[in-house]
Every structure is written in structure tokens, then in C-alpha cells.
Structure 1
Amino acid sequence: MKSRTPKESHTIMNELVLPNDTNTLHNLMGGRLLHWMDIAAAISAQKHCNRIVVTASVDNVSFKHSIKLGDVVTIEAKVTRAFTTSVEVRLDVWAQNIPSATKVKSNEAYYTFVAVDQSGRTIPVPSLEPETEEDKLLYAGALRRRQLRLILGGKMKPDDATELKALFFSDQKD
């Protein structure tokens, strides 16, 4: 299986915030944004895997700036690391008010997808070869983020999280 680069999975999705997308304060509803983010991330993961993918997890999503009625939402997604059958995808969300010529970063998040065959069984994914310095930093941090997700999901014991333990404990003995 041929490895891929993050730029091969790079995806940009734009949406216009319409009245049906907003709450009573004319702000984009969080659930609608999460839906759009899931679509953009899935497209990115599918580009990398060239397979059907299913959402396995969504990391903490904090809403830094509200997105208003009439804003254009731009979601950028790319694969940051591939594991055996899963990929991590980073998303950056921007809100642009075209009449006022302002653009603010609203969100960032990591989604994890698992590649599956037509029967829904997990299948191997291509490896990822980071190219830029940013790609390499995101790639290096992905294992720690994965271990944290697995611990929080009850699929890994904290004592087995070697990458996370290395952040807090040195191997030096007193």
C-alpha cells in the first residue's frame, strides 16, 4: 500500500450560514457546525484511505468565536497521522463576514476515522509521510492525542500510555 502525504488529503469546504442554520440569537447552531465538520473530515479521511470511513471519535471542540447569520464558514481538514486501520484528521474552522471584510478562527478539532470494507469490517490504511514542519509537529503529537482518546474511551489503561507518561515522568532515578 503506497503511503500518502497530508496535502493529498487536504480538503476545503465552504458553507453559507442561512436562517435555518441559526438559533434565536442568529448564531450558527453548534450541532450544525459539528455536522459540517464531520463531513469535511470524512472527505479528507476518504481521500487518504481511498475507502469508506466511519467516525470513531471527536476530540474536544471549543467554540472560540460565534459565527453569525450570513457568515461564510470555511473548514479546512487534513490527515495528520495514520495508524493501522484509523486516521486522525485536523480541522480548522474560519468564519468570514464578507461585507465587513473580517475573518476569524472559530474552532479547531481532531476527528478520528476508521476505514471499513463494504461489510463494515475494519481494513488497513496507507501510512502518512509528513512533509512540512507543521505536518511533522502534528504527526508527532498524534500518538499522544490517540493515547489520551483511548484512555478517555476506556480502551487503554493509563499505565500503558507510554507517550503520555513520557511528558510527565523522566526515566531518571533519584
Structure 2
Amino acid sequence: MWRHRPALCFLERGCILAASKTVSSSQVVMTQLVLPSHTNSLGSVFGGTIMSWIDICAAICSQRHCNKETVTASIDRLDFVAPVYKGWVVNLKASVNYTSRTSMEVGVRVDAENPKTGETFHTASAYLTFVALGSMGKPTEVPGLVLESDDDKRRFEQAKKRREIRLQNKTR
């Protein structure tokens, strides 16, 4: 069925199904202030706190994409690149990278901002898989993905490869 094929196929044929949505239509930007309750004894934010913020940001993005409730199926990879300290600002950006029949991959980039210096830098990245739920709490179809930019296409292809690896690992 056409609906189940990646949106890239729709674009190559010059037509887009009405049920497909653009990457930009569901993107989320979320900002958090690192408070003392978020930090460990070194004054840097707990990894679990960042993980929670990533999950929330990605969940909003996935729900925005399919206009349905979604649940986190997996966190494929989470890399912490640099610490974030008390009083700093954390900016999270989430985008749907790939959709299949009932699931989607959401990528989240986390940047930290030191408000005293104005310096911003990459601190973490993660890939999460979400499943859309229907009225009975069972998986349901999600809209396809319209790829508007070269970045969208690159992320789609990379996510497709990650999905193949996840499926291979699942069968082992």
C-alpha cells in the first residue's frame, strides 16, 4: 500500500498523500533552566534529568506528528558529550527522522548555554522510537513523512539504517 511506504517514495513520484506531514510541522524546541535540584554533588546536571527532558521533548514531537498518544518504545542511543552546570540553560530540539507503519524515530539534540558567557555548545544527542496508540491502546498507523530539505533526507536515510540494525538485533 502507498500509505506504508516512506514519504521519500511519495516525493520521488511527485505526489504526497494528504496523511503525510512535513518534518517541520512537528518539530519541538524546549528550554530548561538547570536548578540545584537537577544537579549532583559536582554541580552538574544528573544524566537521568537530561534523559527525562529528552523523553518529554521527543514525546511532544511524536504526538504532534501523528495527533495521537504515543509511547516510548526504545532509546536507541544516548551520548553525553559535555557536562551542564547549575544555572545554565538547556535547549532541546526534536524532529521526526523516520516513520514506519506504527512507529517513528525522533532525534533530539541537546545544547547547553552558559548565561554568564553566552557560550553555547552541544552536550548530548539521542534517538528514540515511539509507537502511536489507537483508541484501544493498540499500535495504530502514523502519517508518512514529507522530506523538505537535504538535512531531512540525510536524517531519514540514517534513521532507516538504524531501524534496520534495531530489527536485526531484535531477531537475535
TM-score (norm 2): 0.87
Give runs of aligned pairs for residues 17-166 of structure 1, distance below 5 A. 17-152=34-169, 154=170, 156=171
Picking from 14, 17, 39, the partner of 2:31 is 14
Q: After the TM superposition, which of the residue ranges 34-43 and 143-152 deviates more from structure 2?
A: 143-152
Q: How many residues align?
A: 155
Question: Structure 1 vs Structure 2: percent identity of aligned residues?
Answer: 38
* Alignment deviations for residues 45-98 of structure 1 (CA, whole Å, 9 cap, x no partner): 001010000000102211110000111000000101110000110110000011
Gaps of 5+ in 2: 1-17
Shift of 1:6: 0.5
CA distance in 2, matches of 1:23, 1:59: 25
For the Cα contact (< 8 Å) 2:62–2:70, is it kept in 1? yes
2:19 aligned partner: 2
CA distance in 1, matches of 2:153, 2:146: 9
TM-score (norm 1): 0.86
Letter in 2 for 1:147: E
Shift of 1:149: 1.8
Larger RCO, structure (CA 8 Å, separation 6 or more): 2
CA distance in 2, matches of 1:88, 1:71: 28
2:30 counterpart SS class: strand
Gaps of 5+ in 1: 158-174
Question: Hey, which bits of structure 1, 4+ residues long, moved more than 4 A?
Answer: none
CA distance in 1, matches of 2:27, 2:145: 13
